[in-house]
Structure 1
Amino acid sequence: MEASYDVIVVGGGIAGFSAALYAARQKLKTLVIAKDIGGQLNMTTLVENYPAIFKISGPELVSRVHQQAEHFGAEVIFDEVVDIKKDGNVFLVRTYGGDEYSALSVILAFGKTPKELGVPGEARFKNKGVSYCTICDAPFFKGQDVALVSWGDLAREPATILSSTANKFYWIFPGERPIYDDEFMSSIMNVGKAVLVPNSEVVEIKGGTKVEAVVVKNRKSGELQELKVSAIFIEIGYVTKTDFVKHLVDLNERGEIIADWEGKTKTPGLFAAGDVIQYPYKQAVIAAAQGVAAALSATAYVMRMKGKTVHSLTDWRAEKLR
């Protein structure tokens, strides 16, 4: 079987896009499959300890690396990987959307996966109005009525984005207030797009071929109301979801992938980096470095698979692979 790509990177955080940047710069045909852009850095409003950058938001940091990776030729699609198999020397990667991609090498850099609500209709309408990445998908629903389920610092960015893109957004949250920051809330409410739905939770997502409404339950009164929306943005944190690769890797007691310092797992050609691996220090700069290490290891592996010699992977010089 012939592979469509040299390397597929699973994950759109700092580790994933750092890996994609280096792989693409080494002239590997590179595909990134990501459920969102930013991963856990979407929860970080201010990064002050990333070398050479005095202050930056988490989303902006990842966005810059994302742009670099695409500049060097990496392709990016937004979907969720649900299965990976190895057929001979080729990896087959299947997504929730039903698409299948093949590659000589795979880099697992999906960190922790966005949490889901676990309500009826959520799985059915993924990529059909159910989104876990406001920054990725809000432009597709510009000028429409949508819903946002988020609170705390996680809600800052999506609320800001929807205030500029949506006609109106129902902001659904379980407490009395979504964010205990008077200045921020005043700035959002003054725009006039947000409709607060406090003490509430989504219990169902409804529609035909796409999202048409969400059913919301008041946690105090038990009252149900149906809100007509064309999309629901769910940003409530992240969890580790590695079950779909447990047949290819070793996991520790926390479900993290065991990889060595080169990013290698127990399966040849399968590498891992970032918060999804067992390394104890979960920092953006470390995840980026691990992504780079995995990409360079993947490059050497792919070159060997193609019968070529790797003379050097010192990326700061334009070393050629032959």
Structure 2
Amino acid sequence: MNHTTKYSIEFRLQGNELDEESGYDLYYLSQNLHAFQQLIDKTYTTLKNDNNNKRENLRVKVHNIRSGSFLADIYIEVAMVMGSLLPIVTEVNAKTIWDTAKLSFEYLKAILNANRRGESLSTVVTESSNVNIVNANGDVIISVHPDVIRVANQNYPTFKKIASLINEKGEEFTKATFKPVNSEIENAIEIGVEEKVLLQNKSIIEEEPIRFKGKIFKADAEKLNGKMKVYGNSSIIEDGEYNFEFLDKSKIIMKDYFDVECEFLALKQTEFKPDTLNKYIKQLKIISVEKL
């Protein structure tokens, strides 16, 4: 049997373009409201294990709009499903939807911060069925239920979208804060400039160069970039096709190395993937090349 549950979230947007005196910039307001709706939708459908993304029992409504920076209460209303298939909760109700969304944000911050510190991450399942995210030293970065990880993987693009709207230099839109009504800031999902930098998850160029064999098979002679096949270097870099770019463009004539087996010295430009906890090579920055 179902019955409706409700949970109230204080929704606050801060910035010079989001106050009563200057008016509320419709772009920032609409984008953030849409992102919040997506956040709740994705959490709800993931918790229900609903691959069809059905949300007929869920409503997200704005109430009590107040002056100052854009400030309102948003009610999450859901027809509670008794006997959820998921072990993380015994029922999918409005509060568990919010709590899981908040946990997914904390999980993403923990793994992205660990990656920024240069730590390699892996998972260990505990006796309690939680998943520990550990670094190479075995230190536990965070421990969560597997369903929090599933929700985090679904919500990451939405958090990243909100972060992309934040102005790092200007003051138009500086912070979004979502927290249960009458709760402390520690219970909030808060996205400002610091979180923007973290959630952007920009690729990095690693300092240690690698030496490997390969062959260029697609190239732009003017930009000195393209695609190459790497092989026979399993201990250094996985065999496969990679994007590349020559760092010193003044000394290279592309046709001299096109479709010829060569030995390359390069730096890896890597990007961290939160859904796998792995880094992948986005591009190889070629320092030098010699024909074999």
TM-score of Structure 1 vs Structure 2, range by shorter chain? under 0.3
Computing the radius of gyration from Cα coordinates, the structure with the larger value is: 2
* Higher normalized strand content (fraction of residues): 2
Output the TM-score relative to the length of structure 1. Answer: 0.22
What TM-score comes out, normalization by structure 2 length?
Answer: 0.24
